[in-house]
Chain A
Amino acid sequence: MRLAFRLFALFAILSLLAGSACRNAPKTIGEVVAIPVSAIPSDPGDAIWDHAPEYAAAMLLQDVVDPRLTKASTSEVRVRAITNGTIIGFRLQWLDPRKDDTPGPGLAVDSCAVQLPKAVAKDLPSPQMGEANRPVEVTLWRADWQAWASGRGGNIRDLYPNAAVDHYPFQAPPLETGSAGQKEMSTRYMPAQALGNQRNGPRESPVEDLVAEGPGTLKPEARSGSSGKGVWTKDGWMVVINRKLPASLGSGMRTQVAFAVWEGSHGEIGSRKMRTGWVSLLRRAEP
């Protein structure tokens, strides 16, 4: 009787494992594989992602450049990749029990990024933001940008619903609500936005294209066009980042990719982050 029960249990476990393996795409061991698809979805929950193999990237502390992260947080980011020959899409997934998408003093927001060497070559720049004359391209996604892209309003009470504000000078008569004069006056108090440095505030895209030639050199890339979308559930974040495929990455060729995750509730921001080293990225040839 006991033997029969054991056999039954073993059979049940094996059946579950087999079923699970059928439902999920096979895992790859050593590299990210971008599979060819006809269209790139923006939804992280799109079924097409199930066809891409998943790579589990172990995260490392950014403990090379000051200021450093000294206490580890996110241990792993699970990555899938697809490409239509023009765009390459990455879906990053990591555990995060708390959604951090409100900016403020002392607050950090959940974020992630994908980094590629600007040139597809065997001789790679440093995975730590590249090197002088050997740039890397970065596409950054932020949870607060996602909130704005998803419709968060542009007033302080959209950020802090309980904010108590007496008065802003640009809301006083004779300036009319929504007038050009009112907008001009309110912008005087926002020099960063006047300079085109749109770090926060209403925006259409939750991602930003950047280029860097070493730590501290990050700057917006003139030619951008990436897109993305992040969805948070109690299991954490699932974020899609779609960006242009490196021009010289032909079908069946390899380059390298790196990932970074910032855990907002852990105070991670800027160089205080969990990151990977370079990971091999294969553009799988079409069948």
Chain B
Amino acid sequence: MARVYNWQIGRQMSYWYPEARPKKQFAAVFDINKCIACQTCTLACKTTWTSGQGQEYMLWNNVETKPYGSYPLAWDLKLLESLGGQSWRENRYEGQTIFEAAPAGERVLGWKPTSDDYAYPNNGEDDCTGQVDKGAGFSIPHMNWFFYLARICNHCTYPACLAGCPRGSIYKRPDDGIVLLDQGRCRGYQECLRACPYKKSFFNPMVGTGEKCIACFPKIEQGLQPQCFLNCIGKIRLTGFISEPAKASADNPIDYLVHIRKVALPLFPQFGLEPNIYYIPPLHASLPFLNQMFGPGVEAARKTYRSASKDSDLAGLLCLFGSTESIVHRWRREGETVTGMDEKNSTLVRVPLTEPVYIRAAYDPKFQIVRTNCP
């Protein structure tokens, strides 16, 4: 094993291969507070990539309801339980990553899901017992809150699927950091299913190979956001490229949210993969639960997010989410206008910080009719 630096856990760690960061790293921010679990992202992905035979239960993008929902079943709980203690000292992770905790004979600490684990996507997840007038008929640890967690492949800096594959069938593109599974080389050993802690590698029994999210790389290569981003009704997602912390640039939207304002956090950073999908944590969920899921920065991130209404820059950047199909490489706010730009600094989109509000009188004296106002 090589020694590599993982900034998300604030220390060096062991990894199967030496550190080799790409020229650019595909990344994204998901604002969980805006997700309504409409699953439009799921369908956008499904209809684009996984509508074939053998892909019936394959969801490269899924939205699950936390704390009880999971796809595949208990993907997070099973690993958290086997990983053992996961303590942090400020921003340094003191426990073991899944690479460091690998048992003898294994490349990664993992587990392999079966067909049954994929059989229950989203069943009954939205029950919120706190709203039952006369009290719930049973008691569970998290009675009064839930939130939606949209998930795609994290295109990790240190992918476990890549480390777990004994054939080297998985590779990370040097140009954009997208993690791909070579369909010509894979022999269907399913080691990536076992190794990926997020369970975002799947097995296609009709084809006999593993398959996974490709970040819609044909669109990325054209400067466009992936299908699940484009079709997001809640406009919760923003695609971009993230820098290392020391090279963070304030005019890079992902850098600004992750490194500078620290309002967006990685999913289970303690696993050690340096995942590149970052989440603005939900405001109304249990802090200890979120600390386990997103690390020690949750409280500060929520405080920053709560201040967005008085913070024109943060609010402005959040307005760019879902405003254009193109990838916003740079941004700036000038007064009440936020501008998103492409890699060559050409303007892609301009968005007002505050949408103008027009209030129309219910009664129109000119035509002598009453109109119903719709928000």
Residues of the B chain whose Cβ atoms lie less than 8 Å from the Cβ of A190: 52-54, 204, 206-207
Q: Which residue of B lies closest to A187 (CB)?
A: B52
- Complex Cα distance A269/B193, Å? 13
Q: Does B115 contact A (CB under 8 A)?
A: yes
Residues of the A chain whose Cβ atoms lie less than 8 Å from the Cβ of B107: 66-67
Q: Which residue of A lies closest to B72 (CB)?
A: A105
Q: Does B87 contact A (CB under 8 A)?
A: no
B166 pairs with A192, CB closer than 8 A: no
Q: Does A106 contact B (CB under 8 A)?
A: yes
B186 pairs with A200, CB closer than 8 A: no
B114 pairs with A191, CB closer than 8 A: no
Closest Cβ–Cβ distance, residue A210 to chain B (whole Å): 10
Q: Does B19 contact A (CB under 8 A)?
A: no
A63 pairs with B105, CB closer than 8 A: yes
- Complex Cα distance A188/B47, Å? 12
- Complex Cα distance A190/B207, Å? 7
Number of residues in B with C-beta < 8 Å to the partner?
Answer: 41
Q: Which residue of B lies closest to A271 (CB)?
A: B166
Q: Which A residues, 92 to 119, have Cβ-Cβ distances below 8 Å to chain B?
A: 102-108
Residues of the B chain whose Cβ atoms lie less than 8 Å from the Cβ of A47: none
Q: Does A3 contact B (CB under 8 A)?
A: no
Residues of the A chain whose Cβ atoms lie less than 8 Å from the Cβ of B205: 102-105, 107, 159, 200
A199 pairs with B209, CB closer than 8 A: yes
Q: Does A17 contact B (CB under 8 A)?
A: no
B52 pairs with A168, CB closer than 8 A: yes
Closest Cβ–Cβ distance, residue B167 to chain A (whole Å): 5
Closest Cβ–Cβ distance, residue B122 to chain A (whole Å): 16
A104 pairs with B115, CB closer than 8 A: yes
CB < 8 Å: which of B104, B113, B185, B206 contacts A197? Answer: B185
A65 pairs with B166, CB closer than 8 A: yes
A156 pairs with B53, CB closer than 8 A: yes
Residues of the B chain whose Cβ atoms lie less than 8 Å from the Cβ of A168: 51-53
Closest Cβ–Cβ distance, residue B199 to chain A (whole Å): 10
- Complex Cα distance A194/B182, Å? 12
Closest Cβ–Cβ distance, residue A138 to chain B (whole Å): 12
Closest 4 CB pairs of A and B: A189-B52, A199-B208, A200-B208, A106-B114
> CB within 8 Å of A: which residues of B?
47, 49-56, 104-107, 112-115, 117-118, 164, 166-168, 183-191, 193, 202-209
5 A-B pairs with C-beta separation under 8 A: A66-B105, A67-B166, A104-B203, A105-B203, A190-B207
